[in-house]
Amino acid sequence: MTRYLREYFDLRVFLATLALVVIGLVSIYSATYDARASEIFWRQLTWSGIGLVAFLLVTFLPLRTIQYVALGTYALSLLMLVIVLLLGKTVAGSTSWFTLGSFGFQPSEFAKVGTILALAAFLSRSDISLRNPKHLALTAGIVVLPVLLVMMQPDTGTALIFMAMAFPVLYWGGASRFTLLALVAAPAVAVAALFGTTPFFLAVIILGILLALTSDNRVLTAAVFSMMVMVGISTQSIYDGLKPYQQKRIDAFLDPSADPLGAGYNILQSTVAIGSGGVFGRGYLRGTQTQLNFIPEQWTDFIFCVPSEEFGFLGATLVLVLFLLLLSRSLSLATTVKSRFASFVGIGVWGTLGAHVLINIGMSLGLLPVIGVPLPFLSYGGSSLISCMIMTGLMMNLYATRKEH
């Protein structure tokens, strides 16, 4: 039995996943303890049980079966994204939910898994090369379709996760440096433009030089450079076209103190909560920011504040170490498995979970704008929890089948 577990069961991934789920439940219980929202904890506990079943199912499902149903899973996820636009419930301005009583189901969370599998199935084919413009366009289309449907909801944060996940997959698939640079050039210049004219010009100059150095096609380089500059120049117009709440989130990111009781409130309270924990924390159920409900619905996007405040630097470090363990394991599996499909699945999971962790914790620390991205395993939400457990279940599967071609 011990030999079987060592050979086919990745105990590190299993224990890290279980630990993060438990930390999430403990944190949600604390965040809802004095908020008259205890039913939220019990719902999350129910979702945790369902997620564990999904985790084990994916762990022991034959990898060839997963590869066989990959494109079908992707097609089904796209269909669900279309249906939710027509029949879904609108929550906080986004039509992204199916509801059944007190429970909600968010198709976009499962579309992340479907997209990872579809990319892996397509790119693992021996006749596919990302140096071929046609193949590159088809790969981009696999990502763009769910992004467009999610943006129609609208849900900018989730759409951003799809794009962040695609970047390492393209790199893993052998996309040229110019292609990768072209993907990030326009967004990088747009962000730089938000900080002022000088950062904008510096970004244009640096990226322009890099584009020129990584491509021999001057026409294509000029086209990408022109698009990049146009996006940067249009940033103010794009900003003006955003909805008021989106503008406020950007303003709060640039200067949270400008509106401390409005758009910048959550960010300021979050940083206070994290900083006030000290080394050992205030103690469980004793965090003032958490128990006095300074952060509205803290059990969602700002759940990282709870272990940081109540268990201090040690609690926050434990959460980060567990995430780093999962991410390093996913990357390690992607490099060691024999199957190309499995390798792409591993890097897709790495990119998706990594983007979630980076963006959510960056939001909590005030380093990134608040865009509604949950923290895997910790934030309240059944769809997010189950999709993340499916992803770590895929990691377990990759470990068990790492020697299969």
Taking a C-beta distance cutoff of 8 angstroms, is the pair 85, 153 a contact? yes
Q: How far is CA 81 from CA 27, 153, 163, in A?
A: 31, 9, 17
Taking a C-beta distance cutoff of 8 angstroms, is the pair 110, 77 a contact? yes
Return the structure tokens found at 233: 């120049």
pLDDT per position as a tens digit, 160-217:
899 899 999 999 999 888 888 888 888 888 888 877 888 888 988 998 899 888 887 8
Taking a C-beta distance cutoff of 8 angstroms, is the pair 326, 392 a contact? yes
Residue 36 has pLDDT above 90, yes or no: no
Interval 349-367 mean pLDDT: 92
Q: How confident is the model at residue 350 (pLDDT cuts 50, 70, 90)?
A: very high
Percent of the chain at pLDDT > 70 equals 89
Rounded distance between C-alpha atoms, residue 316 and residue 375, angstroms: 13
Q: How confident is the model at residue 37 (pLDDT cuts 50, 70, 90)?
A: low
pTM for the model: 0.91
Interval 313-338 mean pLDDT: 95
Instruction: Give just the sign of the alpha carbon dihedral 265, 267, 272, 273.
Output: positive
Determine if residue 297 is left, alpha or beta; phi over 0 gives left, psi from -120 to 50 gives alpha, anything else beta: left
Q: How confident is the model at residue 274 (pLDDT cuts 50, 70, 90)?
A: confident
Residue 255 is predicted with a pLDDT of: 59
Lowest mean pLDDT among 71-75, 102-106, 139-143: 102-106
Residue 346 is predicted with a pLDDT of: 96
Rounded distance between C-alpha atoms, residue 237 and residue 337, angstroms: 47
pLDDT per position as a tens digit, 212-232:
888 878 888 888 888 888 988
Q: How far is CA 232 from CA 227, 228, 239, 246, 351, in A?
A: 9, 6, 11, 18, 26
Residue 376 is predicted with a pLDDT of: 95
Residue 149 is predicted with a pLDDT of: 92
At position 199, the amino acid (one-letter code) is P
Interval 277-306 mean pLDDT: 78
HSE-up of residue 164 (Cα within 13 Å, Cβ side): 18
Using the structure block, give the residue that is written with the tokens 């146009």.
Answer: 230
Using the structure block, give the residue that is written with the tokens 């024999």.
Answer: 338
Residue 51 has pLDDT above 70, yes or no: yes
| DSSP states of 263-304 | TTHHHHHHHHHHHHTTTT-S-TT--HHHHTT-STTTTSTTTT
Angle (CA) 102-104-107 rounded to 5° is 170
| DSSP states of 189-207 | HHHHHHT-HHHHHHHHHHH
Q: How confident is the model at residue 244 (pLDDT cuts 50, 70, 90)?
A: confident
Percent of the chain at pLDDT > 90 equals 46
Q: How far is CA 282 from CA 113, 266, 276, 287, in A?
A: 38, 20, 8, 6
Interval 349-355 mean pLDDT: 96
**Phi, then psi, of 95 in degrees rounded to 5:** -90, 80
Residue 243 has pLDDT above 80, yes or no: no
Taking the domains of the chain in order of start, what are their residue ranges? 11-400
Taking a C-beta distance cutoff of 8 angstroms, is the pair 326, 13 a contact? yes
Coil/strand/helix, residue 379: coil
**Phi, then psi, of 383 in degrees rounded to 5:** -65, -45
Residue 148 is predicted with a pLDDT of: 92
Residue 121 has pLDDT above 90, yes or no: yes
Which is more confident, 125 or 372? 125
* Long-range CB contacts for residues 272-277, cutoff 8 Å, separation at least 24: 273/305, 273/306, 273/308, 273/309, 274/304, 274/305, 274/308, 274/309, 274/316, 274/364, 274/365, 276/309, 277/308, 277/309, 277/310, 277/311, 277/312, 277/313, 277/315, 277/316
Residue 234 is predicted with a pLDDT of: 85
| DSSP states of 72-110 | HHHHHHHHHHHHHHHHPEEETTEEEEEEETTEEE-HHHH
pLDDT per position as a tens digit, 370-404:
787 899 999 998 899 999 999 999 999 999 998 87
Residue 111 is predicted with a pLDDT of: 94
